[in-house]
Structure 1
Amino acid sequence: MNSRFVVVPAVPIETGSVRNGTRFYCETVSAGFNIYDNAEKLRSKVTYQTRAEADGECQRLNLEWVEPVLTLQRCRPRQRS
């Protein structure tokens, strides 16, 4: 089973551009990490500076999402075949 929330690199931030002949190349800086929701297909707007921070929040969100499902499974009586 895939996790609902996963950590992904944030979209880089453009810091300027460099000209090389007739072309311009943009310079970018890493912006940190976001959490991606696989069910909603959306990135969170919150950016975490370190992967460890993002991993911690991602684990918390996944547990929060899975916990009600596990509770329902424990409460249901098992059917005999």
Structure 2
Amino acid sequence: MPRANDRPASAAAPAGTPLGSTSTAYVPFADLPDVLTTERAASALQVDCKTVRSMVRRGELRGVRCGRLIRIPKAALVELCGGD
């Protein structure tokens, strides 16, 4: 009996390509603006706004203060998630 991992690759995908991959490269957070509010960054990371503010305060996430406001560069989210 064939196992789930023994499925043949899709006809559209080249041999050795994982199932479900596409020919275009994945760009993390491509649909986000270059600078985000804490609310938008929290939504992208699927965490609470307080968590994002705490991460900025502790230096875990790069952020820019504009008076009382905090803005998060999209590049900081990519770095946080292990992107280049």
TM-score by length of 1: 0.27
The structure with more strand, counted as a fraction of residues: 1
Q: Which has the larger radius of gyration?
A: 1
TM-score by length of 2: 0.27
